[in-house]
Every structure is written in structure tokens, then in C-alpha cells.
């Protein structure tokens, strides 16, 4: 199975569902949806870390620093450190992040296509 790396806030922000009123709830809901994939998945969130109960097989990471592109930089680092970057799929609609991970060999899947997969 090909592992997924998900740009968490980019995916959450792809739907204007009022997520900004309760970011932690939106993050929990995304993790719950990702658990249903039955595939290896890592989600990287921006923002202050908080405890997420029972993430199951989903690896949850928070950006290692604050500020612009913090999670993006961590995602690029994950791809760069991978034994087989070409075996990774990165979920994002951020053009700059897509370019950076594609340069390292990862496949990019847009948030719309990935949301369709999650909604099945």
C-alpha cells in the first residue's frame, strides 16, 4: 500500500464548513475520517499541539514550529527522509508544497480528489 501524507489544514480548509469556529473539532473529525481509509496515513497539522484520543492507525503530527509554511516544511522533510519518496502520496492543493514534494519524487493528490475518496 502506498502511504499518504496529508496537509491537514489544507484539506480541512477545502470545505467551508465553519471549521474556523472550532479548529480542534475539525482536526478530530478529519482524523476520524482518515481512520476509515485502511491505508497508512500521516496527517500534519499547523497550530498548537493538543491531545487527540485514539487516532488508531493514523499518525498525527503537529508542525515543529510556528509560522508560515511550518507544516509544509515538515511535510517536505518527511518526503525527503523517506526511503522511497516515489512511493508516497501527498494530499494538498497548495501549489508551492506540491511543487516541492514532486521535486523529491512524491505523487501529489489534490484535496478535491482525496475528499471524494474519503466520502466513498
Predicted structure pTM score:
0.93
What pLDDT, in 10s, does the model give residues 11-21? Answer: 999 888 788 78
Cell 510556528 locates to 66
CA contacts within 13 A on the Cβ side of 95: 0
pLDDT at 19: 81
Percentages helix, strand, coil for the chain, rounded to the nearest 5? 45, 15, 40
71 neighbors 78 (Cβ within 8 angstroms): no
116 neighbors 90 (Cβ within 8 angstroms): no
Distance CA 57, CA 35 (A): 7
The larger pLDDT score, comparing residue 99 to residue 50, is at 99
Cell reading at 37: 481509509
What pLDDT, in 10s, does the model give residues 49-81? Answer: 888 877 889 999 999 999 888 999 999 999 999
CA contacts within 13 A on the Cβ side of 91: 28
Amino acid at each position: 500500500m502506498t502511504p499518504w501524507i496529508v496537509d491537514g489544514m489544507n484539506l480541512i480548509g477545502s470545505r467551508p464548513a465553519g471549521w474556523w469556529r472550532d479548529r480542534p473539532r475539525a482536526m478530530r473529525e478529519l482524523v476520524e475520517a482518515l481512520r476509515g481509509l485502511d491505508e497508512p496515513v500521516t496527517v500534519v497539522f499547523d497550530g498548537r499541539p493538543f491531545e487527540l484520543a485514539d487516532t488508531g492507525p493514523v499518525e498525527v503530527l503537529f508542525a515543529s514550529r510556528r509560522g508560515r509554511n511550518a507544516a509544509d516544511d515538515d511535510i517536505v522533510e518527511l518526503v525527503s527522509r523517506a526511503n522511497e519518496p516515489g512511493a508516497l502520496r501527498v494530499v494538498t492543493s497548495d501549489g508551492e508544497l506540491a511543487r516541492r514534494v514532486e521535486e523529491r519524487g512524491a505523487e501529489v493528490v489534490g484535496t478535491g480528489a482525496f475528499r471524494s475518496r474519503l466520502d466513498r
